Structures are given as C-alpha cells and as structure tokens.
C-alpha cells in the first residue's frame, strides 16, 4: 500500500513517516464489478485511492467540468469532495468497472493528521487543489480546499504579533548563531593582532582586554566606564540630539520629497538647488553653522539634521517616481480626485522607499553628529572620542566608538521595525514569500 500511496499525486512529496501514518488511517475495501462506490449527492466522508482495478468517475453536469467522465486506475485518487470547502456532498458518481481493491481514508482524519505537520500538510492540500482543477478540469471556484488549522498561521497574524513571529522564526534559523560566530571571529582577531601577535600598526592600539577591563571597571583609570554616571549622560545627550535632528529631517524631508516626485514644476525649481547643496560635506558647513546659530547646541543639531534631511528627501522623491503609473491611472479611473491620488496612492506607494531613506538617514545622522560634536559641544559620544584623543585616553576612545556602533544599530533597527509595522503588505510580500 505504501508504494502505491507514494506514487499518488497528492502524497508524492510527504515524508515516509507521514506516509506510514496516512496508510494507518486507510481501510482496504474490495468492490465487485459494477459496484457503485458512491453517487452524486451522497454525503462525502472518505477519499479513495485505487490499489488495483478500474473505476469510472462521472462528474455531475452542475460542476461544469470540461472532461466530466474519467477512467481511473491503480494509484489514482478520487472522492476528493471530502476535502472541499463548500461541498459536503459528492459531486460525482464512481462505479467499479472491474473488480477493484481500494483504500478509503476518512477526510476529517486525514485533515487532522495533516494539521500535525502543517508545512507538508499545506503541500498535500495544494496538490489536491491542482489535481482537481487540472486532472478533473473542475473550475477553481469549486476546488477550494478545506483549510488546515495551524496554531500559528503566518497570514492570520497582524501588527506586533507578526514582528514577534518573525523574531521567533529568526531565532529558530541558523542566522543568529552565524552572527555570533561573526562577532567572535572579529573580537578574537582584535585580541590576537594587538595583544598576542603584536602585529605592526596594531601594536599601539588599545587591546581587547584593556578596553573591556576599563569599560567594566567600577573605578576606571581614565574616568569613563559603565559605572560612571557621565557615561550615560554622554549617551543620552547624543541620542537626544539625533532624535531632534532625525525628527526634524523626517518632518521636512518626507513632504519635500513627496512634492519633488509629485509635481514636475516644483522639481524643476527646487531640485537643481537641492542637488548642488547635497554633496557638500558636513564638515564644510561647520563654520557657517557656528556663525548662523548663536548657541552651539542648535549648531550641532543643525549639522546633524542636514545630511539626514538630504537622504530622506532624495529617497522619498525616488519612491514617488518608482510608483507604477498603472496605480495612478486606476485610481483616476475609479473616480479619485488629485488629492486623493496623492493620499491613497503616492504616499503608501512611496512608503518602502521612504523607510529605506529613513534608515539611511538615521545612520547618516549618527555620522554627522559625531563630526559636529567633535567641533563643538560639551557632551556626547563624539565629544568623548575627541577629548580622549587630545588627552591620550586611548581605551576610552574605543569605548566611545563601540557604544556609538551599538546605539546606532539599535536606532536603525527601531526604524526598520516601525517600517515593517506600517507596511504589512510589503512584509508579507518580502519576508513571508507572499503567504
């Protein structure tokens, strides 16, 4: 029986253990020549797999099958109405036209079994659906299969749950462990190159153990570790500056980008100026920023803001330009006004690009923040790095750098999570493979 099952179209792909469990559900029944196995309208409980003999399968006219009559032999599966969503009754008549030996499997039992392994269960059900539409030429409206109820079905989850679901998938995949190995390799190279091999150029650098000792020291030799309040003050000041600059850059950059992409005329006025200012490095702005703003604090925020603003606006504009013309046309056709097209098509359509822009923007803002803090300012991670350099506190420089990297990574992950949350449709498209 197992061999026959393995050859049938729906069960070809399941594992041998699964196949054995399916076979356990089956009951062998022998039918004489001309025995009616079932008739149209009977209630549908079992599906049938032919072991030997021949069966004539006639779909009733109401089904609109293009090939209503089929001759079935060993390895063929019929009686699939037991698995259909809307039809608890037989849609066909099945008659043994020579003595036949047939395996019957209860549809509910089969479904329950498939639920225990939803992944291969889905494959079996979708193979059933294909078989019904293709081999039996039944319209796909009818061939909708009963669903496999799984505890956590990706397409039913919304919002935060979807993010949690993806996190649990991530933890189950090898990716986090590869990441840990990557960090491990990097740190051991640092350790070996500086402290063991003492390679040229690396020799003078603060070593891994020195940095860690200083970082975790309740009484740090250079005055900065996780036990000093100052450390957190620097972090908070930097985060607060980046937040202000990032929010400002997004509030101004996104609308500017949207209008640049939306109105050709507006773009012609503004874009050349925009493109001339964009490549100017932040450091070149420093003198002007100090002249423009009386307080150093607003000068620092202004410098941090600039690069983010350009990144956000440019990506938003590209996002609007990337929108398929057919969506805009369809909206106009359906009676939308110009402002509605802007709200319903342009903004959501540009959202993927906007969030790419925001991720770049938050990265760049850390970048320029440090440049700005090195020039002026009293606190902040950039300030820590710069003053430690002038005061020859090399381990503290590295502490500042690592902290920057970590905080920067967390903020950019937050932007990405927010983006995924707002673009469920796209998360499905990309991450769940259209599930």
Partner 1 sequence: MSQEDKLKSKIQAGEIVVSGVSKEYGANQFAKEVVKDCSFTIERGKLTVMIGPSGCGKSTLIRLLAGFEHPTAGTISINGKPVTGPARDRLVLFQETALFPWMTTYDNILYGPRARGEVTKETLELAEFLLSKVGLQEFRKKYPTQLSGGMQRRAELARAMINNPEVMILDEPFRGLDAMTKELMWEYYSALYEENRRTNFFVTTDIDEAIFLADRLFIMSNIPTRVRAVLEVDVPRPRRLLDIVENDRSNEIKMEALSILHEEAMKSFSRGSKAAADFVEAYSKRVAKT
Q: Which residues bind partner 1 (CB under 8 A)?
A: 66, 85, 133-134, 139-141, 144, 155, 324, 326-327, 329-337, 340, 344-345, 348-349, 351, 423-426, 428-429, 434-435
Residue 133 or 296: which CB sits closer to partner 1? 133
Residue 212 or 432: which CB sits closer to partner 1? 432
Residue 168 or 435: which CB sits closer to partner 1? 435
**Rg of the Cα trace of the chain?**
33
Exposure pattern of 71-83 as b/e (b: 16+ CB <10 Å)? ebeebbbbbbbbb
The answer to whether 286 touches 375, Cβ cutoff 8 Å, is yes
* Of 47, 8, 6, 10, nearest in space to 126 by CA: 10
Residue 229 or 333: which CB sits closer to partner 1? 333
What does the block give as tokens for 92?
Answer: 């066909």
Residue 219 or 325: which CB sits closer to partner 1? 325
The answer to whether 95 touches 79, Cβ cutoff 8 Å, is no
Q: State in angstroms the smallest separation of the CB of 434 from partner 1.
A: 5
In angstroms, how far is CA 80 from the centroid of its own chain? 35
Residue 24 or 140: which CB sits closer to partner 1? 140
* Of 6, 23, 26, nearest in space to 14 by CA: 6
Helix, strand or coil, per DSSP, at residue 79: coil
Report in angstroms the alpha-carbon separations of 318 from 87, 149, 267, 312, 372: 50, 42, 12, 10, 28
Q: State in angstroms the smallest separation of the CB of 340 from partner 1.
A: 5
Q: State in angstroms the smallest separation of the CB of 141 from partner 1.
A: 4
The answer to whether 341 touches 328, Cβ cutoff 8 Å, is yes
User: What's the full length of the chain, in residues?
Assistant: 435
What does the block give as tokens for 354?
Answer: 């906007």
Q: State in angstroms the smallest separation of the CB of 173 from partner 1.
A: 22
Q: At what angle do helices 264-277 and 229-262 cross, to 10 degrees?
A: 140
Between CA 428 and CA 139 the distance in angstroms is 28
Residue 32 or 429: which CB sits closer to partner 1? 429
Q: State in angstroms the smallest separation of the CB of 289 from partner 1.
A: 39
Q: State in angstroms the smallest separation of the CB of 65 from partner 1.
A: 11
Q: State in angstroms the smallest separation of the CB of 35 from partner 1.
A: 31
Residue 352 or 395: which CB sits closer to partner 1? 352
Q: State in angstroms the smallest separation of the CB of 88 from partner 1.
A: 17
* Of 410, 365, 343, 368, nearest in space to 250 by CA: 365
């Amino acid at each position: 029986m197992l061999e026959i099952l393995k050859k049938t179209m729906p069960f070809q792909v399941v594992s041998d253990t699964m196949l054995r469990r399916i076979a356990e559900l089956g009951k062998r029944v022998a039918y004489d020549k001309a025995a009616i196995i079932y008739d149209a309208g009977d209630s549908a409980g079992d599906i049938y797999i032919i072991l030997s003999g021949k069966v004539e399968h006639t779909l009733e006219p109401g089904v609109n099958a293009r090939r209503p009559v089929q001759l079935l032999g060993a390895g063929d599966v019929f009686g699939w109405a037991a698995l259909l969503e809307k039809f608890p009754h037989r849609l066909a008549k099945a008659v043994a036209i020579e003595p036949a030996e047939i395996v019957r499997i209860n549809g509910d039992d089969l479904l329950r079994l498939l639920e225990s392994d939803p992944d291969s269960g889905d494959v079996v059900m979708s193979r059933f659906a294909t078989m019904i539409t293709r081999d039996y030429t039944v319209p796909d409206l009818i061939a909708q299969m009963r669903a496999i109820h799984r505890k956590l079905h990706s397409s039913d989850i919304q919002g935060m749950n979807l993010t949690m679901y993806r996190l649990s998938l991530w933890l189950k995949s090898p990716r986090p462990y590869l990441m840990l190995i990557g960090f491990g390799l990097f740190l051991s190279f640092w350790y070996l190159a500086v402290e063991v091999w003492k390679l040229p150029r690396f020799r003078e650098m603060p070593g891994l153990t020195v940095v860690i000792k200083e970082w975790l020291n309740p009484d740090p030799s250079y005055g900065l570790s996780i036990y000093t309040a100052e450390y957190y003050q620097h972090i908070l000041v930097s985060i607060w500056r980046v937040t202000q600059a990032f929010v400002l850059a997004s509030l101004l950059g996104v609308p500017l980008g949207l209008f640049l992409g939306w109105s050709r005329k507006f773009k012609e006025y503004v874009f050349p100026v925009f493109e001339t200012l964009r490549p100017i490095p932040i450091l070149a702005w420093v003198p002007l920023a100090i002249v423009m703003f009386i307080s150093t604090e607003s000068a620092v925020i202004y410098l941090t803001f600039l690069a983010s603003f350009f990144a956000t606006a440019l990506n938003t504009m590209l996002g609007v330009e990337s929108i398929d013309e057919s969506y805009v046309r369809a909206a106009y056709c359906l009676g939308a006004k110009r402002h509605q097209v802007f709200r319903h098509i342009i903004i959501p359509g540009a959202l993927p690009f906007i969030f790419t822009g925001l991720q770049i923007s938050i990265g760049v803002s850390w970048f320029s923040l440090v440049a700005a803090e090195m020039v002026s300012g009293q606190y902040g991670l950039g300030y820590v790095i710069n003053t430690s350099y002038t005061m020859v506190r090399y381990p503290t420089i590295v502490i500042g750098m690592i902290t920057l990297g970590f905080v920067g990574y967390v903020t950019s992950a937050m932007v990405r999570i927010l983006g995924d949350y707002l673009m469920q449709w796209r998360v499905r498209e990309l991450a769940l493979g259209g599930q």
